[in-house]
Amino acid sequence: MDPAAVVSGFPGVEEFPGIPDCWRWSPAPGLDFAAALSADGQYLFQVNARDSYDEALVGAILAAAREDGSRALAGNVLLNTITGFRFPEREFDVVGVARPGVHRYHEVQLPELQQVTWAVFPGYACEFAAPDRYSLDDARESFIRVLTPANLDRGPVPFLKMRYDNTVTKGGTDGPDGVLAKPETLYREIKLLDGAPGSYVEFENFRGQVFRVDWDGAWVLSGDPERAEPHRVELEELLVFAEKRLRG
């Protein structure tokens, strides 16, 4: 499999300015793709952009992926990051990396190319848990539904795994592992604890820290590193605490 020969033959493909062995193509209006060979020429790093293409940003992402290719391609890691990434006037601080099977860029039309293509995209450290925290389903869910990597203008969507049960709404999760969710879901479920005795929300951030909120006539927070015992807390203070812990 020669990824350079395949990509350079795509309809309408152009050489990416300033980066050797790198190409750009647009399969449809508003969709812009770019890819660069790894240093050994065996793999491809690809950025997809939907209505948000920024040539300078894309070039910086691809350059970072090629420079730190050993990190990007490491082992069987499903979702990985290249740390230390910076770009002027943007707040991104990592490059996210998704292996084949997590992304499906070429899965249907070019399965051989799919197997040597790693998706790369700009991200934030708070969006990625330790690699061993992801099952394949979790990694796919995070990549496709939560991170939306083709939106190069997005803000951070912190990693969040939730377990919860509400005795009034009957909403909740099954099993001990919880589900990936967006922060808005956490904030909503915390609010819905009001007046639901025996209900709880437990949430885990990207650092693996776990916090729990129970309803006992008020919101009761456990896991606060500044308080040894569970304690009652007002809703607004609790929501600020949750947001802060998700981001840092």
Cβ atoms of 128 and 159 closer than 8 Å = yes
Q: How confident is the model at residue 131 (pLDDT cuts 50, 70, 90)?
A: confident
**Residues 19 and 45: beta-carbon distance below 8 Å:** no
Helix (H) or strand (E) holding 180: strand 179-180
**pLDDT surpasses 80 at 70:** no
pLDDT at 192: 98
**pLDDT given for residue 43 in this prediction:** 93
* pTM (predicted TM-score): 0.91
Cα distance between residue 214 and residue 197, in whole Å:
8
Q: How many CB atoms lie within 10 A of CB 239?
A: 17
pLDDT digits (tens, 9 = 90+) for 85-114: 999 999 999 999 999 999 999 999 999 999
Nearest to 183 by CA among 125, 103, 240: 240
Helix (H, G, I), strand (E, B) or coil at 215: strand
Using CA of residue 138, residue 33, residue 49, residue 121, what is the dihedral sign? positive
Burial 85-102 (b: 16+ CB within 10 A, else e): bebeeeebbbbbbbbbeb
Region of 172 please: left (phi>0), alpha (psi -120 to 50) or beta.
left
What would the mean pLDDT of 223-227 be, rounded to a whole number? 89
Considering the chain, what is the average pLDDT of its residues? 94
Query: What residue spans define the domains of the chain?
Result: 3-146, 161-247
Is the pLDDT at 10 greater than 90? The verdict is yes
Q: pLDDT tens-digit profile of 184-223?
A: 999 999 999 999 999 999 999 999 999 999 999 999 999 9
Amino acid at residue number 15: E
